[in-house]
Amino acid sequence: MAAHADRFAEPGAEARSALVRRIVAAGELTDPAWRTAFEQVPRHLFVPYYFIGRTGTYERLWCEDPDPEQQARWLRGAYADQPLATRVRDGELVSSSSQPSLMAEMLQALGVRDGDRALEIGAGTGYNAALLAHRLGDEAVTTVDLDPEITEAARTHLAAAGYRPTVVTGDGARGCPERAPFDCVIATCTLPSVPREWLPQCNPGARIVAPLSTGVIRLRVREGPEGRSAEGRFLRTSAFFVPLRGGAPPPETRAGGLPRRAIENDLFRFLLSLTANSLDPREVMSLWERERRPERNRFGVTVTADHQWAWLDDPEGPYVWPLGPSA
C-alpha cells in the first residue's frame, strides 16, 4: 500500500511523524507493519472538523477556518494522541476518532496476518478502517455502522485518502454475514456483551478485540464438539468508547453508599460495570478487597452459542458472572 504514502507529504507529515514517535516511545507500536500504516495514513483527512469540550458546550475546530491560527490549531489537534469528538447531537457525543495509541494497541492485539479478512464494528471517521486497509488491502476490510450519516462521511474520508474498503450501513451487533467469513473482528464502540451473531461469521482461530465495560477484551474463536465459542482475557489498558447502538444497552452500575476511594478507582469501576448483571455494589466491594484490587488482565470472558460469562482468573470459577441483558 506504499503508493498512498507519497500523496500526502504535506500538510501534517511532520506532526504525523512526531505522533508515531510518541506512540513508539510509549511502547504501544512495536509491529513494523502497523508503524508504517500509522506513518502513512493521514489522520487529518479523517477529521476535517472536530469538537473540543467546553463548559456546557463544544468548540468546533475546522480545516477551512479563515483564521490561519485556528487552522494550525486544528492540524496540531488532529495529530495529538487523544480522542477527538467528531459528531455531537443534542449535546451528546455520538461519534469520535479514538486515541491513536489505544488504536495501535488494539490493532496489534488483533494479531493479523497477510491474507486475513477483517470486520470493523463502528466506522467512525473511517481512520481505523484506513489503517486496516493499508495493512490488509481494501478488499479484505469491511466496516459497519448503524448511522447512514457516519458511513457516508467515512466513505468520503476514505476516498480522499485513497482507500476503498467496504463500508456498510447496518447494525454492527449483527455483524456482516454477506461479507463473512472473517479472520479478525475489531469493535470501536463499547459493548454490553459480545454479540453471538459474530461467532458464526468468524473462521476458527479468528481474533475478536472489543471494548467491554471500561476495558478491552481479546478473544480467540474456536470450533469444538458443542459448536463455535470464543474465550480470552482483557488487556491491561483502560478504554472509554461511545456505546454500541443497535444492540442491547450497556448495564447500569450503582455506586451509592460506597467509599470514595473505591468509586474514584478506575479498576473498581471496571469491576462494578462488569458484574452489574449479577452482583450488588456491596458484593463487588467485598470481592475487590478480598482479591487485592485485581488488574484487568486477570479477568476474561467466555462466549458460547447459548450463554456468555465474565470470570476472574479461571473461566471455570470460582468467580464467574453472566453477561448480557438476559442474564
Catalytic residue numbers read 95
- Any idea of the CA torsion for 146, 148, 153, 158, to the nearest 10 degrees? 60
C-alpha cell at 18: 512526531
Alpha-carbon span 45 to 173, nearest angstrom: 28
Question: Cα–chain-centroid distance for residue 317?
Answer: 28
- CA angle, corner 82, sides to 215 and 44, nearest 5? 125
- Ramachandran bin of 194, using left for φ above 0, alpha for ψ from -120 to 50, beta for the remaining angles: beta
Cα separation of 319 and 300, whole Å?
11
d(CA 128, CA 46): 10
Per 3-state DSSP, what percentage of the chain is helix, strand, and coil (rounded to 5)? 35, 25, 35
Return the axis-axis angle of helices 148-161 and 127-136, rounded to nearest 10°.
50
- Are 119 and 128 in contact by the 8 Å Cβ rule? The answer is no
Distances from the Cα of 124 to the Cα of 78, 187, 197, 255, 311, angstroms: 15, 11, 21, 31, 31
Burial class (CB in 10 A: 0-12, 13-18, 19+), 289: exposed
